């Protein structure tokens, strides 16, 4: 299953098959201007419900220009680095990590931006971008924006807590 299908399933479970532009903005962290521009220029299926326009989620996702930071790495990862960055390593291992995961998802949602992380942790944008480039945090590129998968922060936070 590719990353686009995983994200689509997560969003369908949260907001349903159709969503308004406001819900898309809240859940994806995209600006309303970008959403309306995309809807206007692309052939996205929509419907009117309760007097407002809703857009089909799968049709909206087909129009997004996705790429990820999961590009081939020139230097192979060590076994320890592979374990830290593995998709299946995102689940919490103890009560503290469960609390952290719940806090992240409650405050940031499934996806967030670097601005959200700067506000929450007080760490500069440059540091977050460096982590994304190294592959420590998974992000999606939608046009020129980087959208971070919030659950991918858990291995980074786990590694950071071990330093204390």
Beta pairing partners, 46: 55
State the pLDDT at residue 72.
Answer: 44
State the pLDDT at residue 111.
Answer: 85
pTM here is 0.51
Exposed / middle / buried, residue 155 (Cβ in 10 Å: 0-12, 13-18, 19+): buried
State the pLDDT at residue 92.
Answer: 76
Per-residue pLDDT tens listing for the chain (164 residues): 566 777 778 788 888 899 888 888 888 777 788 888 888 888 888 888 888 899 998 888 887 766 555 444 444 455 565 555 555 566 777 888 888 888 888 888 888 889 889 998 888 999 898 888 877 788 888 777 888 888 888 878 877 777 65
Architecture of the domain whose range is 3-64: Orthogonal Bundle (1.10)
Domain with CATH 1.10.10 in the chain: 3-64
Q: Long-range contacts for 45-54 (Cβ within 8 Å, ≥24 apart)? A: 46/18, 47/18, 49/18, 52/20, 53/20, 53/21, 54/18, 54/19, 54/20
């Amino acid at each position: 299953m590719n990353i686009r299908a995983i994200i689509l399933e997560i969003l369908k479970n949260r907001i349903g098959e159709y969503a308004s532009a406001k819900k898309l903005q809240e859940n994806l962290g995209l600006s309303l201007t970008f959403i309306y521009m995309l809807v206007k220029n692309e052939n996205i299926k929509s419907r009117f419900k309760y007097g407002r326009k809703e857009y089909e989620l799968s049709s909206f996702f087909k129009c997004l220009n996705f790429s990820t930071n999961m590009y081939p790495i020139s230097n192979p990862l060590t076994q320890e680095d592979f374990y830290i960055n593995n998709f299946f390593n995102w689940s919490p291992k103890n009560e503290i990590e469960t609390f952290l995961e719940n806090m992240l998802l409650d405050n940031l949602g499934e996806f967030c931006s670097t601005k959200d992380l700067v506000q929450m942790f007080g760490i500069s944008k440059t540091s977050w971008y460096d982590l994304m480039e190294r592959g420590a945090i998974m992000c999606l590129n939608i046009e020129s924006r980087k959208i971070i998968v919030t659950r991918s922060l858990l291995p980074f936070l786990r590694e950071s807590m071990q330093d204390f």
